[in-house]
Structure 1
Amino acid sequence: MRPDFGAIAHVRYRAFLSYSHNDAHWARWLLRRLESYRVPGRLVGTHGRAGAIPAKLGAVFRDRDELPTAGDLSSTIREALSESDALIVICSPAAARSQWVDAEVRAFMAQERTDRIFCFIVEGDPAVDNCFPPATIEDGRIPLAADARPEGDGKDRAFLKLVAGILGVGYDALVQREAQRRHRRLAIVTAAALAGMTVTSGLAITAHVARNDAQRRQGQAEDLLGFMLGDLRKKLTTVGRLDLMRTVDDKATTYFAELDPRDLNDRALEEQARSLTGIGQVRMEENRYAEAMRAFQQAYARTTALAARDPSNGQRLFDRAQAEYWIGNVAWQQNKFDEAERWLERYRASAEQLASMDRNNFDWQKEVAYAHQNLAILADARGDHEGAERAMKRGLELFRGWVKQRPNDTQLRAEESTIVSWLGTNAETQKRYDDSETWFTTLLGNLDTLRKQEPDNANWRKEWIDAQLLLAQTRFKRGDLAGASVASEAANHEADALVKHDPTNRVWLSQQGIARFWRAQLTGLGQPRQAMPIAQEAERMLASIVAAEPTNKRVVKWLNDTRVLQTQLSKPSVATR
């Protein structure tokens, strides 16, 4: 069910997040915080200036593309803006210079909802170097702003100020509710720690207590876990004491292991499953796969119990399917491919069951395609390239059917294109260059359609360049040098156009550098002297990106290839030709 966003009946998103690509890390952080934020219980159901206050903020739209031509917004962006209750502008000197951000602000202002624009300052001093997009300060306008800089409100206080504005409640009231919630949970944690986690142990012995007492302590446990795995984790991360968080997680998983899911009510099971999944994901990030596996297995036990209690509840089946996926993923990371395959096949079976429950729920239908893709990628990792291809083609068949039904759904066509690209790379790995060329040509056709549907969407232009580079590579490998040169020059021309529009966009700069590599490579086959300055240009482009992003493996790889090419071109036997 879509949450009540207040007075605007057609709202789809709680907020639209507008930002410069230079602030993408802030956008990702803020998106996660907003979509995971739980409104204090005593405020839920009351009315703020923006309408009824929900338990959660709901979905936030974050555009991942940059504006390719001055002032133009795609139909997708305009639609998302019109369906958003509020506009959040991440403010910085880069945002102030961004035509893209300014265009989004102006489009939102055109809907006469200026009071629903909220600025979130992450860099720059408003009094010294302007960090506000021009549209937000025109005509002497003073924007509503939360200052996340350390010398301002700080991240946490700024975030709460932003939430208060979105909900239409006073900042002090929200802070008070947050403080009450933290203090209540902290008191529970402190008491538990002092007693050697006696509350936790007592909760495990449900057979010897009265029903009301068990329910009371379940409630305590839920608050305890909510604090430990939510607010406390954030605080410890901030001060760099994740070692303490690991201890908390260990205590929580030990406690969960002592409980029998059959003795717990639905709410407790749901909270525990969610907490265990979070613990498992953290363990995955730390490469502690054994601990991650235990957490996900316990999450699976709880989601399985919930699904058994209400077999017609699709959401519970969905949650169980996600647990099956995570268990398969951990086994995969441990190189236990047979076990991974069993769990990913369970995930596929659950996805197929889920899809059959509601044919109108398109998100559930797509789970089946994702399940096929997971099994395909696993098979590829095991060296079974043919089996991987068969599994991926089953997913492709589903997407092609959906694209025919929804020809104007650009996201669907983009997902289909991703599969086509993978199949082209898979065929190239098997040295079936004719097949890989066919796949990459199909990919370019899809991207041509996307560019016609959304001519202002920079992402389709970026993907089109990548497709041309893939086509150039596979043609080069099959010996079609003329065809490779055509694809290479097409990529160079488009990359130059994008970089001219925004010389600071490192993604586009990397594409330009790779395109120059292929120009040098192909030129060097007949004119090595002319090829050397092109290769040197490619090296400068790629080296500048590696200096800024030393962990970017893709660019590092192409930089190394460019230097190898220069070595080859400098050999006397080659250079004198």
Structure 2
Amino acid sequence: MSSRRRYAAFISYSHADARWASWLQKQLESFRVPRRLVGTAGENGPVPSRLAPVFRDREELASANDLGGRIRQALEASDALVVVCSAAAARSPWVNEEIRSYRRLGRSGRIHCLLVPDPSGDDGAPHFPPALVEVIDAAEMPPEPIAADLRASGDGPALARQKIIAGLLGLGLDDLRQREAQRRQRRLVWITAASIAGMAVAAVLAGQAHVARNDALRRQAQAEDLLGFMIDDLRPKLERLGQLSLLDAVGDKALDYFDSLPSRDQTDTALSQQVRALTQIGQVRLDQGKHEPALAAFMAAHARALELSRRAPDDGARLFDLAQAEYWIGLVGWRQGDLDVAERWLRAYRDRSQALVALDPSRFDWQREVAYGYHNLAVLDDGRGRHAEAAEAFERELALYRDWLPDHPRDSMLRFEAANVASWLGSVKQRLGHLAEAESYFLEADRGHAANQALEPDVMAWTDNRIDSSVLLARVRVRLGKLADARAGLRTAVDQAAALSLHDPDNAAWRRSHGNALLSLAAVDLACGDDEAAASALAQARPILSQALAEAPEENLAIAYFVRAGLLDAEWALRAGQPAMATEALARIAAPLAKASRRAGSDTLLELLARRDQLEAAVFDLRGDDGAARTLRLAALARLLDPRGGEAPFAHLEQLLSLQRALGDDEAADASLKRLHQAGAVPEPLPAACVNDFAGEPASQRTAP
């Protein structure tokens, strides 16, 4: 293996075959290549001394057709793919998509198959996942599956193990078996001689050695049982049942166990296992919205990753793990609304990524880590109102992707990332008042997602991305006065989002996308004067977004969607002459809006608060209380104006114009109107759902689709 990747192999398997996947991983990682073979020429390059580490995915995916960024990254970083073949694997969309993704990398010749026994005991015809023989590229003939057969009717465990190992090493089976036999014979001779020479000493030390060995074995067994129970068996089942909270006790037990290990047990291997386990514990807790427990797990992973990197500072894999820990800590800070903490850790993540590239500039995956690092900090700048700085950073990042894409025309993840950057750039340009540029960037993002849909129509995540890009494109078109185009695009997005939710009703992110598309359509319907259509879209969006907030009450995005829905409800009620109904809608959003207000401020939060004040003022208008209405409008105006006396942000102008007209400040209204016209905007009262969402989260190391 002349150019070793991070993993010796990636094991793809159905969770019905988790036992066999675990067995295979242990067989591969514990195998020591005979010394006389190490460094010799194999089919894949020089033969390594070990087949480790081996990647075995321990997580169910949100959708079987949706490979997360971590999985795609591991596939790219693996020298080979080993597919555990069974009837369950053949039916698994997840296993088939992993195979397709690996073959798209041009590595069909590096795929190995292991047939495993059927749980029913029926070892009839072998079951191969269809993706093994699909035509992925017209220029490539799919290989005929050749498998090691673990079944009793086939090779049996010993021979099947040797076949897989020989294939991974690029050796002939006979060469490997002969060397293993010679090694076993030499070992037996050595053991016999050593036993005779050391019999007296062994008698004295037997008790101590026995106790120490049993202690080590006990600790190893305890760790393996704990991690296996938590990751392999329990987590996938609980995810399907929506009962991840039951994993809390297991996570606590793992943390206590790791803390109890004496320093003499902290080998490199033990620390690496702990880093992986602690990171997964943190991810589970973060998915549950339990930020402090998640932070504790990520901090513990970081401390161990830092120690591993200190022991081998030139080891890229260890530096990579350290960077990932820093990313996750930064993400927790982001979700908690502590942007100072988020910036500190995300900057550290960016710096580690640059150090990775310095170690090996030829690693394209590490070059992309630097792009993610810059991306996260640009998103942070945008969230803090530093829009010009964010736009400059996004433009530099997008230039990188535009340079990379022609060399990787079939890399759907790379295209997704490029579209994601273009989308962010569109949002920033919109906030700066550069509406035509914003529309152009949103179109670029939409075309990127459309290309992924065409290339991989079975990957549902690409459809979800297309829905999001349609919503963003529609919002800027509303500002440009292109209401018909915006409405048509949103209707298509709503239909696609509804189908996506039906495809996987348990996917919370897809449900939220459906709610957001409905909310945006309701806003455009209101702007078009179609109150009936707006009421219908709102009625569908309301329960979806209420559920999203209940599931993630601390999430900025869930809060923003719920608040926007309430504001639109109030707006619709006022247009229908129902002030009591409007007051009720505003009361529903009071608590989540107050929670958001206690966090670091943003332009979006100020817009939502000002919009709430405007709607409350309209309620007082209908009740004839002009004084209260004016007080609320003045409060809204103060939120939107620059407290330092500078020019108000462009995103606030529509609301400012409405307030200035209502307050009789014609001179200020004319100035706002002039800025809107210069930007190409068609000023209308801005529907609540056209207000931007809170600043998004930082991209993951590989932004998952």
| TM-score class, shorter | 0.5 to 0.7
CA distance in 1, matches of 2:52, 2:545: 43
CA contact (8 A) 1:90 1:119 kept: no
CA distance in 1, matches of 2:575, 2:344: 50
CA contact (8 A) 2:493 2:517 kept: no
* Deviation of the 1:419 alpha carbon: 1.6
CA distance in 2, matches of 1:467, 1:65: 23
Alignment match, 2:421: 419
Say what the alpha-carbon RMSD is for the aligned residues.
5.8
* Deviation of the 1:450 alpha carbon: 3.6
What's the secondary structure of 1:408's corresponding residue?
Answer: coil
- Structure 2 vs 1, CA of residues 44 and 376 (structure 1 numbering), >3 Å: closer, same or farther? same
Alignment match, 1:363: 365
CA distance in 2, matches of 1:63, 1:233: 18
CA contact (8 A) 1:303 1:319 kept: no
What's the secondary structure of 2:365's corresponding residue?
Answer: helix
Alignment match, 1:230: 227
What's the secondary structure of 2:26's corresponding residue?
Answer: coil
The one-letter code sitting in structure 2 at the alignment partner of 1:532 is: E
Unaligned runs of 5+ in 2: 3-7, 34-49, 67-79, 129-146, 159-208, 239-244, 553-557, 580-705
User: Is 1:253 equivalent to 2:259 in the alignment?
Assistant: yes
Alignment match, 2:487: 488
User: Is 1:15 equivalent to 2:12 in the alignment?
Assistant: yes
**TM-superposition CA deviations, 1:454-495 (whole Å, max 9, x none):** 56665444433332221221222x2x33x1321320332465
* Deviation of the 1:297 alpha carbon: 4.3
User: Is 1:168 equivalent to 2:168 in the alignment?
Assistant: no
Count of matched residue pairs: 442
For residues 19-418 of structure 1, the aligned pairs below 5 Å read 38-39=25-26, 58=55, 85-86=83-84, 168=150, 219=216, 223=220, 226-227=223-224, 229-231=226-228, 233=230, 240=246, 242-243=248-249, 245-246=251-252, 249-253=255-259, 255=261, 259=263, 265-275=267-277, 277=279, 286=290, 287-288=292-293, 291-292=296-297, 294-308=299-313, 311=314, 313-329=315-331, 337-338=339-340, 340-418=342-420
The one-letter code sitting in structure 2 at the alignment partner of 1:356 is: A
The one-letter code sitting in structure 2 at the alignment partner of 1:15 is: S
- Structure 2 vs 1, CA of residues 512 and 32 (structure 1 numbering), >3 Å: closer, same or farther? farther
CA distance in 2, matches of 1:229, 1:344: 31
**TM-superposition CA deviations, 1:398-418 (whole Å, max 9, x none):** 222211322332221111111
What's the secondary structure of 1:85's corresponding residue?
Answer: strand
* Deviation of the 1:350 alpha carbon: 2.3
The one-letter code sitting in structure 1 at the alignment partner of 2:150 is: G
Return the TM-score normalized by structure 2.
0.48
- Structure 2 vs 1, CA of residues 423 and 547 (structure 1 numbering), >3 Å: closer, same or farther? same
CA distance in 2, matches of 1:484, 1:116: 56
- Structure 2 vs 1, CA of residues 560 and 400 (structure 1 numbering), >3 Å: closer, same or farther? same
For residues 445-456 of structure 1, the aligned pairs below 5 Å read 445-454=447-456
What's the secondary structure of 2:83's corresponding residue?
Answer: strand
Alignment match, 1:192: none
What's the secondary structure of 1:288's corresponding residue?
Answer: helix
Alignment match, 1:571: 577
Alignment match, 1:438: 440
* Deviation of the 1:295 alpha carbon: 1.1
The one-letter code sitting in structure 2 at the alignment partner of 1:366 is: R
CA distance in 2, matches of 1:281, 1:538: 33
- Structure 2 vs 1, CA of residues 542 and 229 (structure 1 numbering), >3 Å: closer, same or farther? same
**TM-superposition CA deviations, 1:298-325 (whole Å, max 9, x none):** 21432222323xx2x3223222323343
CA contact (8 A) 2:25 2:56 kept: no
CA contact (8 A) 1:348 1:371 kept: yes
Q: Percent identity?
A: 24
- Structure 2 vs 1, CA of residues 540 and 429 (structure 1 numbering), >3 Å: closer, same or farther? same
Alignment match, 1:532: 532
CA distance in 2, matches of 1:272, 1:501: 37
CA contact (8 A) 1:324 1:344 kept: yes
CA distance in 2, matches of 1:62, 1:55: 24
CA distance in 1, matches of 2:484, 2:375: 32
CA distance in 1, matches of 2:118, 2:438: 46
**TM-superposition CA deviations, 1:51-103 (whole Å, max 9, x none):** xx977874669795869xxxxxxxxxxxxxx9873566769xxx99x9x999x
* Deviation of the 1:230 alpha carbon: 0.8
What's the secondary structure of 1:407's corresponding residue?
Answer: coil
CA distance in 1, matches of 2:21, 2:278: 21
- Structure 2 vs 1, CA of residues 559 and 383 (structure 1 numbering), >3 Å: closer, same or farther? closer
Radius of gyration: which is bigger? 2
What's the secondary structure of 2:312's corresponding residue?
Answer: helix
- Structure 2 vs 1, CA of residues 278 and 14 (structure 1 numbering), >3 Å: closer, same or farther? closer
CA distance in 1, matches of 2:298, 2:61: 32
CA contact (8 A) 1:447 1:464 kept: yes
CA distance in 2, matches of 1:316, 1:420: 32
* Deviation of the 1:45 alpha carbon: 8.1
CA contact (8 A) 2:470 2:493 kept: no
The one-letter code sitting in structure 2 at the alignment partner of 1:249 is: L
Alignment match, 1:156: none
CA distance in 2, matches of 1:15, 1:142: 20
Return the TM-score normalized by structure 1.
0.57
